[in-house]
Structure 1
Amino acid sequence: MTVEEIKRYFTGNPPPKEVNWKPYAKITDAERFLAHAFVLIENHKGKQDDCPAWWRLKEFYQFMKSFNKNSENNER
């Protein structure tokens, strides 16, 4: 999985504005969250796998994919 793949996913499947991600993490503007994560990853000087923003972005991506999959199953 790459940053570009995640960008393409969210371009085609934009998240809702607000996301209750974790008990301790509520995202109030998902587009700003994503834009900020992409900037932090782009400006990271080390290996991408060592970037905390990359970890959060991957985790958010996986959460949204499973959330969207569950939503589709509930509609059937």
Structure 2
Amino acid sequence: MTISANQVSAVIRTYLKNARDRLDDDSPSDDAEKQRDEITISEDARKILYDRIGKRLVQKLRNQMAADYPAMP
């Protein structure tokens, strides 16, 4: 079964949204502290994520360098 990058992104977005919602919950609970979430990501999915993160970092660095050091005519 092939999982697309969009599906991986959707799962991560949903997880982060739910995690934020749990943190924003006003009712403190000892059970929430005892619970530990566990996520299993396949090697292929990890590679996709690392590649995507790497590309974004490179692009951000290029943009920052272009802004800091404008091309001389």
Of structures 1 and 2, the one with the larger relative CO (CA 8 A, separation 6+) is 2
Q: By the TM > 0.5 criterion, same fold? A: no
The structure with more radius of gyration = 2
Give 1 or 2: higher strand fraction: 1
Q: With structure 2 as the length reference, what TM-score do the two structures score?
A: 0.38
TM-score, normalisation: structure 1: 0.37
